[in-house]
Chains A and B, each alone.
Chain A
Amino acid sequence: TQLLEQSPQFLSIQEGENLTVYCNSSSVFSSLQWYRQEPGEGPVLLVTVVTGGEVKKLKRLTFQFGDARKDSSLHITAAQTGDTGLYLCAGAQDMRFGAGTRLTVKP
């Protein structure tokens, strides 16, 4: 099993600020996924990154996969209250999740 460490564990910011959260491992992943989970619901896929160095954008969210495919980051520009949630990364082969980053965006 490939372990994923996510940081920070908690993040509380004001609306309009930028932020970056991280997903790190000592193992190489063929691909990684990012999910967002809102209270009372299951996680929902945001993106899958496959190629080392890959950058994917989803509106204000930018996902990067490390060159060595051991880490990934999620950057949110001009955060909105609707971005509040638990952000999870997962290995796309073994479907194991990190502990997540709980983001709170205050108005």
Chain B
Amino acid sequence: DTGVSQDPRHKITKRGQNVTFRCDPISEHNRLYWYRQTLGQGPEFLTYFQNEAQLEKSRLLSDRFSAERPKGSFSTLEIQRTEQGDSAMYLCASSLSAGQGAGANVLTFGAGSRLTVL
């Protein structure tokens, strides 16, 4: 397994456009998390999945953001009608849930997708 992969690594878009990010987690991990990180700050929780079920979504997440994990493997994060305030690094992480073995609740992160909205 090559770890957590995110695509694209960089995306520059104009305000109002839609963007989609993809995350391929570690194959045996049943949990997948999305975070947003701005310069100098820690990762801000957006949402997480256990298998294909979206179990929690941050109240800070507007309706323009949607995430899916249709088959419990890869996930997509879509931002509709992007705004300049959406410019950030979007990080994906995966883990095993509690009771699933050694390494449960240990996040493995991808390198992130950096979004710039002009």
Residue numbers of A with Cβ under 8 A of B are: 6, 31, 33, 35, 40-45, 48, 86, 88, 90, 92-100, 102
Contact = CB atoms under 8 A, between A and B. Distances in A.
B106 A99 contact: no
B106 A97 contact: no
Contacts of A99: 41-42
B111 to A, nearest CB: 6
By DSSP majority rule, is chain A's interface helix, strand, loop, or mixed? Answer: loop
B43 A43 contact: yes
Contact of A88 (B42, B111, B112): B42
Contacts of A102: 40
B109 interface: yes
Interface string B78-118: 00000000000001010100000000011111111000000
A42 B112 contact: yes
Interface of B: 4, 33, 35, 40-45, 48, 91, 93, 95, 105-112
Contact of A43 (B41, B45, B109): B109
Given A42-B109, A42-B110, A45-B107, A95 B48 contact: yes
Contacts of A93: 105
8 contacts: A33-B106, A33-B107, A42-B4, A95-B48, A96-B45, A97-B45, A99-B42, A100-B41
Nearest to B9: A40
A43 B111 contact: no
Given A88-B43, A99-B42, A100-B41, A43 B106 contact: no
